[in-house]
């Protein structure tokens, strides 16, 4: 039976995926510094094995045969995901993949080297090469998938999302935020004039912050029999569903930094830990995509973790672990701090979407051939001034050189961040409508109901539906800007 052959293949691939996931997490947490060269060799060797085994021509035959077998519902959609996965993995000629891999590695290395030097001129030719390749890739994928070229790129990160659906929602959000950001800043200034910011004392030993983080993770539902928390330079969620590795980094001067990292990664971890175990070795059992994953991390970080109700419960824990007493009115100005800035990864939830929309617009222009790299600094600067009133012309390192995504040829990835934020707001609204005691429960540290809702509607569904379908089935509606806009208005507008 061909389905059985796909099932066996899945188990074989899972072995290599497991090794890559744990080696990757280990590299960022426990590896000795001198272990990097051999680790890179081992991981690229394993990745090569995984790619060869995932793209073997015989798999096409198994999939075709399985499609006409008498299967149950789960198996049928599992085969469909096998096909989707296989098509996306094999639709580029081997020669092109090699060229892309080589150029991408070169451009990434150059980016790491030249960004700190603010050297746009040195970086430009490499990025031009990548943009050319990305246009080629998107055309090749578009042809096979029957999609527009940019949509074919989005599809790699966020299956089912289309630029034509995203654009009007992002436009509505952009129009709102252009006026809302100055309003929020004025409100914030006025509030701080009345009640000056209570400074963090800056005396938070790492061990105590870690214990606080562990306590919060556990309460929110992280399963410590299937995961752990450690330290890395950048917070991440890695490992495998049976052993999810999340990390944060600590500043002894500021406990919010590490704790917010823990909350965000716990959101990712809950998704991984609660995927359907029996499907773990099928593409169907994987998380739906980057946007949905981000909706889960932002759900915990923003919808729960920056919710004032959350702090009713969390502040006594802060006091218990760090020995510092805070009132809600004193902590919220830190948790809800809004600031116009040049850097996407440092942005708060109000200004962040403008960073993303800027990139979403520019990368569509790149793929469509309407924008060339040589014009990027001006195009970037024009939008930065328009959306956030900031200029980056003299500072490309904090402008178009700030992110690694384009250097890695990851076009179509950026929208996921803001799609995730919007979906999280829409999910919370749907949950709260069904469950009016939502905020009261959060204030008591009770996360059972909200987790049960997410488990039923998101986590247990894995890759059963496209991103838009998953959201619509969970919330009863297509993606709408209004939920996120309302969320921002309530939290920041008054």
* Residues annotated within a binding site for Zn(2+): 264, 268, 294
Kindly tell me which of 31 and 332 has the beta carbon lying closer to a second copy: 31
Out of 5, 7, 28, 31, which residue is the one contacting a second copy (CB under 8 A)? 31
Q: Does 169 bind a second copy (CB under 8 A)?
A: no
CB-based contacts of 419, cutoff 8 Å, min separation 6 = 158, 161, 166, 291, 294, 295, 467, 479
Mind telling me the catalytic residues?
265
User: C-beta of 82: minimal distance to a second copy in Å?
Assistant: 19
Q: Does 472 bind a second copy (CB under 8 A)?
A: no
User: C-beta of 59: minimal distance to a second copy in Å?
Assistant: 18
| Residue 237: strand pairing partners | 246
CB-based contacts of 73, cutoff 8 Å, min separation 6 = none
Determine the Cα–Cα distance for residues 302 and 260; give it in Å rounded to an integer. Answer: 9
Out of 5, 7, 23, 135, which residue is the one contacting a second copy (CB under 8 A)? 23
Q: Does 12 bind a second copy (CB under 8 A)?
A: yes
Q: Does 41 bind a second copy (CB under 8 A)?
A: yes
> CB under 8 A: which stretch of 140-148, 236-244, 430-438, 446-454 binds a second copy?
236-244
Determine the Cα–Cα distance for residues 374 and 335; give it in Å rounded to an integer. Answer: 39
Kindly tell me which of 224 and 327 has the beta carbon lying closer to a second copy: 224
**Cα→Cα distances 277→111, 236, 271, 272, 285, Å:** 39, 22, 12, 10, 8
Kindly tell me which of 38 and 198 has the beta carbon lying closer to a second copy: 38
User: C-beta of 281: minimal distance to a second copy in Å?
Assistant: 9
CA 91, 373, 400, 47 dihedral sign is positive
Tell me how crowded residue 49 is: count the other CB atoms within 10 A of its CB: 16
Three-point CA angle 213, 439, 195, nearest 5°: 75
Beta strands in 10-115 (DSSP E): none
- The Cβ-side half-sphere exposure at 289, using a 13 Å CA radius, reads 29
Kindly tell me which of 34 and 57 has the beta carbon lying closer to a second copy: 34
Out of 45, 205, 323, 476, which residue is the one contacting a second copy (CB under 8 A)? 45
Instruction: List the interface residues with a second copy, window 271-300 (CB under 8 A).
Output: 280
Kindly tell me which of 87 and 242 has the beta carbon lying closer to a second copy: 242
Q: At what angle do helices 308-322 and 328-335 cross, to 10 degrees?
A: 110
Out of 127, 240, 292, 379, which residue is the one contacting a second copy (CB under 8 A)? 240
Q: Does 37 bind a second copy (CB under 8 A)?
A: yes
| Residue 251: strand pairing partners | 254
Interface ranges with a second copy (CB under 8 A)? 11-12, 14-16, 18-19, 22-23, 26, 29-35, 37-39, 41-42, 45-46, 49, 223-228, 230, 240-245, 280
């Amino acid at each position: 039976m061909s389905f059985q052959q796909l099932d066996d293949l899945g188990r074989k691939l899972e072995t290599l995926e497991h090794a890559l996931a744990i080696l990757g997490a280990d590299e960022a947490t426990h590896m000795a510094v001198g272990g990097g060269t051999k680790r890179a060799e081992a991981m690229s060797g394993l990745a090569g094995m995984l790619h060869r085994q995932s793209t073997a021509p015989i798999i096409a035959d198994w999939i075709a045969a399985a499609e006409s077998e008498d299967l149950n519902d789960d198996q049928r959609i599992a085969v469909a995901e096998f096909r989707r996965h296989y098509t996306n993995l094999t639709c580029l000629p081997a020669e092109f993949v090699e060229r892309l891999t080589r150029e991408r590695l070169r451009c990434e290395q150059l980016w790491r080297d030249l960004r700190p030097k603010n050297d746009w001129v040195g970086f430009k030719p490499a990025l031009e090469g990548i943009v050319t390749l990305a246009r080629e890739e998107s055309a090749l994928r578009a042809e096979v998938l029957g999609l527009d070229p940019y949509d074919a790129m989005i599809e790699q990160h966020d299956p089912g999302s289309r630029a034509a659906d995203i654009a009007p929602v992002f436009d509505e959000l952009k129009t709102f935020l252009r006026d809302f950001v100055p309003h929020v800043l004025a409100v914030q200034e006025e509030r701080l004039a009345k009640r000056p910011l209570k400074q963090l004392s800056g005396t938070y030993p790492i061990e105590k912050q870690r214990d606080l983080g562990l306590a919060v993770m556990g309460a929110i539902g992280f399963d410590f029999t299937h995961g752990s928390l450690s330290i890395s330079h950048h917070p991440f969620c890695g490992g495998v569903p049976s052993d999810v590795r999340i990390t944060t980094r600590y500043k002894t001067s500021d406990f919010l930094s590490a704790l917010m990292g823990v909350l965000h990664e716990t959101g990712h971890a809950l998704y991984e830990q609660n995927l359907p175990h029996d499907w773990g070795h099928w593409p169907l059992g994987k998380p739906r995509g980057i946007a949905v994953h981000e909706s889960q991390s932002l759900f915990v970080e923003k919808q729960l973790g920056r919710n004032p109700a959350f702090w009713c419960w969390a502040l006594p824990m802060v006091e218990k672990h760090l020995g510092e007493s805070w009132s809600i009115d004193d902590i919220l100005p830190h948790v809800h701090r809004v600031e116009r800035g040049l850097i996407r990864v440092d942005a708060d939830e109000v200004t962040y979407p403008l960073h993303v929309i800027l990139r979403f617009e520019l990368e569509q222009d790149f793929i469509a051939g309407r924008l060339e790299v040589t014009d990027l600094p001006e195009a970037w600067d024009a939008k930065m001034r328009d959306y956030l009133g900031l200029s980056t012309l003299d500072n490309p390192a904090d402008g178009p050189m700030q992110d690694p995504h384009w250097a890695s040829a990851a076009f179509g990835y950026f929208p996921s961040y803001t799609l995730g934020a919007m979906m999280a707001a829409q999910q919370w609204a749907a949950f709260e409508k069904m469950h009016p005691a939502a905020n009261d429960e959060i204030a008591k540290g009770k996360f059972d109901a909200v987790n049960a809702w997410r488990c039923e509607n998101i986590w247990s569904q894995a890759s059963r539906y496209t991103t838009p379908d998953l959201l619509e089935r969970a919330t009863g509606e297509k993606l709408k800007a209004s939920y996120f806009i309302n969320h921002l208005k309530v939290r920041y507008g008054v």
